[in-house]
Amino acid sequence: MGTIEDEIIECGGEVFGEEEMETLMHCVQCGKCTGGCPSGRITALRTRKLFRMAQMDMREEIFNAPELWFCTTCYTCYERCPKGVKCTDIIRVIRNLAAKEGHMSVPHRKIGVYALKTGHGVPITPEQMKIRESLGLDPQPPTTQKYKEQLEQFQTIFRETGFDALIDFDWDTMSLRETETKTETDTESESESKSKSEEGEKK
């Protein structure tokens, strides 16, 4: 196994190109990304810290960092970095690597459950269906949520690609396994992150 930088370049290079991933090493820790990060204002996410951890090959630390999952992929840092570091795409690749090793956050896994059950990360709710009906529309838009045979095809893709195993999805109960334990851990981490944020760690 190479360094985490090697893995970022190898894994992310397939999608974004190796050159783009190599910009990680151009980070000079100026902090502009962190200063403009909307998520970092209310969470412990410190974008430049993630990149420093990656540069220093702090594999376990970065894969276990709850804040890795607090990025909303808004691309503000990507636009503002004076060194051209492809911040958001690098974070997405680090997440993919972390997920492959079983470190995906519970909220992200739960979005996967919605997708597996309905074909949508954000399925339509009964309230929204009522609103559609009151407007004279079909309560269900023409999506996988309405057409079950399409949903089955979608679920086949998830099975074939192993996404169900990645989020530890149980087809019998149509939910996650071990959610409670992991949720508690996540909740603790989030509280810890919040208090760190309140301590004014932002630099």
Among 13, 31, 123, 139, binds ligand SF4 (CB under 6 A): 31
Q: Please, what is the minimum distance in Å from the beta carbon of residue 35 to ligand SF4?
A: 8
Near ligand SF4 by CB under 6 A, which window of 13-21, 26-34, 54-62, 195-203? 26-34
Q: Decide if residue 21 touches ligand SF4 (CB under 6 A).
A: no
Q: How far is CA 127 from the centre of its chain?
A: 27
Strands (E), 53-187: 169-170, 175-176
Site membership for ligand SF4, residue 47 (CB under 6 A)? yes
Does an H or E element contain 60, and which?
helix 59-63
Instruction: Report in angstroms how near the CB of residue 37 gets to ligand SF4 at its nearest.
Output: 3
> Rounded distance, CA 52 to CA 138, Å?
51
> Token match 């090697």: residue?
6
Q: CA 127, CA 38: separation in Å to the nearest integer?
A: 30
Beta bridge partners of 106: none
Shortest CA distance to 146 belongs to which of 130, 165, 124, 173?
Answer: 124
Q: Which of 8, 9, 37, 98 binds ligand SF4 (CB under 6 A)?
A: 37
Q: Rounded distance, CA 107 to CA 186, Å?
A: 9
How far is 120 from 127, CA to CA, in rounded Å?
A: 17
Is residue 167 at the binding interface for ligand SF4, with CB under 6 A as the rule? no
Return the number of the residue (87 or 116) whose C-beta is nearest ligand SF4: 87
Nearest distance from residue 48's CB to ligand SF4, in Å? Answer: 4
Q: How far is the CB of 182 from ligand SF4 (least distance, A)?
A: 23
Residue 44 Cβ vs ligand SF4, minimum distance, rounded to whole Å: 12
Binding residues for ligand SF4, per CB under 6 A?
27-33, 36-40, 47-48, 51, 71-77, 81, 83, 85, 87-88, 91
